[in-house]
Structure formats: structure tokens, C-alpha cells
Amino acid sequence: MEKNQYIVALEIGSSKIVGAIAEKTSAGYLSVKHLQEEKHLSSVRYGIVQNVENIKSSINRIIKNLEGMVDGRITQVYMGVSGRSLHSIVSEVNRSVESTVPITKDLIDRIIHDATSSPIRNYETIDIVPRAYYVDKVETPNPVGQFGSSIKIKVNLIVAKPALKLNLNRLMTLNTPQVKDYIVTPLAVAEQVLSDSDRELGCMLVDMGAETTTVAIYKNKALIYLNTLPLGGRNLTRDVMNGMSVLEETAENVKKNINNPLDPGNVSNVVIEGVSAPEAANYISARTGEIIANINQQLADAGISSDAIQSIVLIGGSAHLGGLLQKMEDTIKIKVRMGQNPPTLNILNSDINRMEYIELFSLLAKAGENIEPGETCVELNKYENGPTFEGMANPRQVTEPERPAEREPRRNKPEKRNRWKKWTDKLSSLMSEDDANDEEQ
């Protein structure tokens, strides 16, 4: 019987680090019930790790806690990649081919490799996503097996500043699990959360985080455009903090406790932690309008009209701002809905079944598709005295303490008995001599 596989994924965001373990059965079912997170404020900026040692310590604690939950040792992890400099670049490769020989997958792979042969200044290629294939100038979804005299392949190069991946590598040292693979987080989310019809008819996935907002645009089942904006929910918080002269924690609580801060004219005239709700709403509404305008601009930058996009799917920790969905729909004039957790992943723990973990769950689902048969990210502890049951202490072999040996009855040693006999014999002899002397007198 094949053993279940364990998959571990880590997602490092601008406000928190989250790690989780998923279990994949031999039948292919994927489930998760173990998740750990640590919040931080200044160690990651715009999705890029700034303080490697602080984040490394957080990861070590997350790994240790997860290991305790499954009673094993985590040996490798899948790491999500996202951040301010992450975006796509279109590259095309044309090749003349022998018209009498069918196009093979190996040929396609070589052509795609050629698309990345030229380095891109100041950027590192993280992933390659095919966009379109053309055989004799006719677009085709799959050129393998076809005949033609020329082939053109258009690909999206997913690139980022070298520091993005370099600092992720620095987090995993010899004393920590090794990175099994890097997965581009927004691509994993799009693959797991968007439906086939979303990608076919045209869809814009918007992931609004604490300090960045990532936009991925799909059309005709292909990725058209990917870009990361240096704007997020923390910008709203800081505007309130600076404008109202309060601490960031207070500004964050005020932002979360206004029902619809994007409609300042209808906000109740109340005071929250010493801050006027209508006045705070003015700051929040103004900055949110700027973010939505930048999101809308991505359509133009991608060279696609809003008419070609049927829907917007909104995710991310900052996407739950009151009134954001309706405000975005009214501004961009495209239907907006909230994204849902991957349907292929069974979340067994109700405490972690929350939309704020959609990126991590998507990484687990994608890794579950990529992991090879027989591979696992966790080595379970083995015990000789029986199985380990969840929720119970690990079995231990208990031995009775050794009892002291029973003492034998004390016996006189022969040497002592001999000395005693000699002494009594001598005493008897002396007494006999005294008696004899008395008789003589």
C-alpha cells in the first residue's frame, strides 16, 4: 500500500508569514488541518525580505510547531514567490522547421528555452508561462504533432529583482528544511481559484495585500499580463495615522471598524478610539480611489480593453475593506466577486478555513499537483512499541526499576570459626592446668 505524501508550503507576506502541511492520499485527495503563522511589521517591505535573521527565526518557529503537530521532521518546503518587482515580460521566438517531420514536445521545450537565453538587465527570470503558439502563422492551442515550415511561440517571462529570490534563499540554511521548489504565488492562485470560463472569457485577478497589489489578466485561457503595484491596505492605515496623528495600531482598528469607509458622506458621526469616523473615512476613501485607478490602468498597460474582460476576482487580506467590492465595480465597470479557497483542497480544521489564507492554500494545491509519486516533505517519527495516535502522548517503553538482590543469611566464615575454636580450646587448657595446681597444693 502506498504511503500518504506530506506537502509543506510557506508564504511570506508584508504583514505575516504563514506555513501549513497538506496530506495527499494515494488516491490523490488533498487535505490540510495544520497551519501556523507569525505576524510582523517591518521585516518585509513590499513583499521583499529586509531582515533575513528575523524572518529566519519566525520560519524556524513555524517549522518547529508544524513538526510537533504531525510528529515528524520537515525536510523540504515549497516557497511562494511574490513581491513589488514581480511582473511579466512578453518574449517571442520564431523557428523554421522541417515540414515533413511532426513538431515534437522536445522541440517546443528547446524553443521555449531559447526565449530565456538572453539575460534581462537588472532582473531574474523566475518562471516561464507559454502564451500562444503559431504554426505557419496560424494560432493553435497545441502544436505538438502538427506539420509546418515555421513555428512561433509567445511566452510570458515572469521576472523580478534578484534580491527577491536571493533573500528567500538566504532564509533556508543548513539547519532548516531546503526549498523543494519556488512557486509564483499569483500564478498558483489564478490556476487554483479561477475557473476555466474565467480564463477563457477574460478575467482580472486582483490580490490586494498589506503593501502590494498584484494584478493578473487572463484571456483565451492564457496569461496576458502580470504586474505588482506598490500599494496596499497599509497605505490606507498610514494615511489615517499621519492625518489624525495616532499610532498605526489605532489607525488600523479605526479602519476595520467603519462599516463603509468608502462612502464618507454616509458614515455615522461617531468617535472610534478618539478618532472621528467621518474624517478617517475621507483619508481611506481617497487612497482607495487611487489604488482602484491604478488597478484599472493595468488593462491599458496590458493592451486590452475593459470590454474584453468579463469579471474581476478580488482576494487578499486588504480585499475585505467595507464597500471595496462595490466601489471597484462602480469605477471599473466590470463585475467583481470575491475569490474562494481552492475547491481541490479539503480544509479539515474550521479554525483555519479563512479567506486570508487563500494564497497559502493555493500553493499547497499547486505543490500537490507537482510533487512526484513517493516524494514527501515530512519524515514521520517511527516507534518500535506501536503506532502514534494523534492527541495522545508518544508511546514510551516503560521498564520496572531493578530490585536489589535478596541478601543471603549471614554466615560465619570458616576462618572466624577456626579462631574461635582455638581460643576456647586454649581457655579450657588453662583452666585444666589451674585445677591441677589446686589439687597439688
Model pLDDT for residues 368-423, shown as the tens digit of each residue: 999 999 999 999 998 766 555 555 555 444 444 445 555 555 554 455 455 545 55
Would you say 79 and 72 are in contact if contact means Cβ atoms under 8 Å apart?
A: no
Q: Which helix (H) or strand (E) holds 224?
A: strand 222-229
Q: Distance between CA 6 and CA 325 in Å, rounded?
A: 36
Cβ proximity of 46 and 146 under 8 Å: no
**How far is the C-alpha of 140 from the C-alpha of 54, rounded, in Å?**
49
Task: Quote the pLDDT of residue 61.
Answer: 94
Determine the angle formed by the axes of helices 277-301 and 233-244, rounding to 10 degrees.
140
pLDDT at residue 98 greater than cutoff 60: yes
Per-residue pLDDT, averaged over 219-243, amounts to 95
Lowest mean pLDDT among 108-112, 279-283, 422-426: 422-426
**For 289-347, what is each residue's pLDDT tens digit?**
999 999 999 999 999 999 999 999 999 989 999 999 999 999 999 999 999 999 999 99
Work out the number of other CB atoms within 10 angstroms of the CB of residue 157: 18
C-alpha cell at 10: 510557506
- Spell out the domains of the chain, with CATH numbers in brackets: 5-85+162-380 (3.30.420.40), 87-160 (3.30.1490.110)
Residue 24 has φ and ψ, to the nearest 5°, of: -115, 125
- Rg, C-alpha atoms of the chain: 37
Stated as kind and residue range, the H or E segment containing 331 is: helix 324-332
Helices (H) and strands (E) in the chain, counts: 11, 21
Q: Are 371 and 76 in contact (CB under 8 A)?
A: no
User: If you write DSSP's letter for every residue of 253-314 in order, what string do you get?
Assistant: HHHHT-S-TT-GGGS---EETTEEHHHHHHHHHHHHHHHHHHHHHHHHHTT--GGG--EEEE
> For residue range 242-268, what is the model confidence (pLDDT) as tens digits?
999 999 999 999 999 998 999 999 999
pLDDT recorded at residue 385: 63
Residue 424 in this model has a pLDDT that exceeds 80 = no
Name the percent of the chain lying above pLDDT 90. Answer: 72
Please state, in angstroms and as integers, the Cα–Cα distance from residue 299 to each residue in 200, 213, 217, following that order. 16, 14, 8
Tell me the sheet residues that pair with 181.
78
pLDDT of residue 43: 85
Block residue for cell numbers 492625518:
243
Residue 230 has pLDDT above 60, yes or no: yes
pLDDT number for residue 143: 94
CB 32 within 8 A of CB 19: no
In terms of pLDDT, which residue wins out, 400 or 18?
Answer: 18
pLDDT at 272: 94
The one-letter amino acid at 290: E
Q: Assign 176 a pLDDT band (cuts: 50, 70, 90).
A: confident
Q: Which of 101-115, 145-159, 169-183, 284-298 has the lowest mean pLDDT?
A: 169-183
Task: Give the global pTM.
Answer: 0.83
All residues at 6 or more sequence positions from 39 whose CB lies less than 8 Å from its CB, including other chains: 15, 16
Q: Note the pLDDT of residue 428.
A: 53
- Calpha distance 284→349 (Å, rounded): 34
The predicted structure's pLDDT at residue 418: 54
CA angle 90, 95, 100 (to 5 degrees): 140
Compute CA 102 distance to the chain's CA centroid, rounded to the nearest angstrom.
Answer: 42
The end-to-end CA distance of the chain, in Å, is 112
